[in-house]
Amino acid sequence: MATGVIQSTDSEKSISAMLKSKQPYFIPRYENVSLNYISKNLESEILKPIDNTYIVLNNSREETCKILNNDIVFSDNLFAIHSLINYNQKVDLIYLDPPYNTGFDFFSKDNNHAYSDSFDLSEYIEFMRIRLILLREVLSDNGSIYVHIGHQMLPYLKVVMDEIFGISNCRNIITRKKCSSKNYTKNQFPNLNDFILFYSKNNNFIWNPQGTVPSEDWIKKEYPKIDDKGQYKLVPIHAPGIRNGETGKEWKGMLPPKGKHWQYTPEKLDEMDKNGEIYWSKTGNPRRKVYLTPDKKIPLGDYWHDFRDAHHQSIKITGYPTEKNLSMLEMIVRSSSNSDSVVLDPFCGSGTTLIAAKNEQRQFIGIDQSLNAIKHCIQRLEVAQSNIFNQARLLCDKDVYEYFSIDIESILR
């Protein structure tokens, strides 16, 4: 029964305890939260090595156990990722666009079955969790992983990713506009976006900031002032938080505003003022001048509206269902890898990530278990570079080859 007396909850009590002990209460504390469901395997079981053999489908039909850079692998990625771990192979960037668990089967434009996308919920979560745990082992210490997913499985995969990579390594949950308004339904909002979970392995991950070249209008609005050094904008010289050191002291007879501190020491502010880098308003308010530089880019945020999928834009595409936007993949590759990096796509479909890596002069490894996908991959990579077979190999899981050899040989003709 309600008593009308407000009892403080445990969390309120702990906040007041922290305040009393002058601990910063605004830093969230992330405990270990995990997703529970039947059929969840122990990590130690998942990591037990599995050996696998591949048939090289280029010029010979030799057997190999080692996947090399620039290989396209026709296999369930479970076995292929185990092979990468067995040889201690590392990659700097992993992008995966797995089945979204939409409940449908997907067919390519020529009506060939591409892949099925229907799992029980716990079966799906465990399918992904197993592969994500293995992928963590393949990711280099300065690597990043991007998991592209629909709204259906996003909440579950976010928790799974937090469990595996750590909540503090979650860099962004990116919303990507995948199509324009269409398929209006009467009783719900139209679904226009999908999502990308971007995690790094650690704090020191490869990061090359991306952005767009600003328009004249944007520049005029953002950098409205001009002097003999160029166009500039004004920014405060103080920041929130009280400091007891130099940056909390008086500068030119002024203390920082209440609850704030100077961003620079008084000595440095004197130097900046002498160099004309400080702007004084009529009322005596000092601000810092920030000049427009020729390489100024507008940083890309976590809402990506310019990377819609090709089949919504009537431009030439492979016909493989769910083929992703090539410019988006090139941008991800530039952001999170260097020129000596290897990019892995364990659900590579028609090979968009592999083409993006190639276009950006990176090496790649692509894995898919659909014959249809592999067919599109080799067609595309041959188009991208006619002598791909001099550089890259096509591998096929030995068991798959024994079962489907006629079909496989037919796609190579």
Of 92 and 397, the one with the shorter C-beta distance to ligand SAM is 397
Residues 6+ apart with CB under 8 A from 211: 297, 298, 299, 300
Least distance in angstroms from the C-beta of 328 to ligand SAM: 10
Residue nearest to ligand SAM (CB): 349
**Residue 298 carries which DSSP code?**
E
Least distance in angstroms from the C-beta of 99 to ligand SAM: 5
Of 199 and 320, the one with the shorter C-beta distance to ligand SAM is 320
Of 278 and 373, the one with the shorter C-beta distance to ligand SAM is 373
Of 169 and 370, the one with the shorter C-beta distance to ligand SAM is 370
Of 162 and 368, the one with the shorter C-beta distance to ligand SAM is 368
CA–CA gap between residue 353 and residue 330 (Å, rounded): 8
Least distance in angstroms from the C-beta of 177 to ligand SAM: 17
Of 193 and 202, the one with the shorter C-beta distance to ligand SAM is 193
Angle at CA of residue 161, ends 115 and 198, nearest 5°: 85
The radius of gyration of the chain's CA atoms, rounded to the nearest angstrom, is: 27
Of 99 and 256, the one with the shorter C-beta distance to ligand SAM is 99
CA–CA gap between residue 54 and residue 80 (Å, rounded): 9
CA–CA gap between residue 215 and residue 73 (Å, rounded): 44
The length of the chain in residues reads: 413
Least distance in angstroms from the C-beta of 161 to ligand SAM: 18
Least distance in angstroms from the C-beta of 261 to ligand SAM: 48
Least distance in angstroms from the C-beta of 276 to ligand SAM: 52
* Contact residues for ligand SAM, defined by CB under 6 A: 76-77, 97-99, 114-115, 320, 322-324, 347, 349-350, 352, 367-370, 373
**Residue 278 carries which DSSP code?**
E
Strand 286-291 to 230-236 pairing: antiparallel
62-69: Cβ within 8 A, 24+ apart? 63/398, 64/395, 67/365, 67/395, 68/393, 69/342, 69/363, 69/364, 69/365
Residues 6+ apart with CB under 8 A from 91: 84, 138, 139, 140, 143, 341, 342, 343, 344, 365
Least distance in angstroms from the C-beta of 231 to ligand SAM: 41
Residue 392's nearest CA partner among 407, 404, 405, 382 is: 382
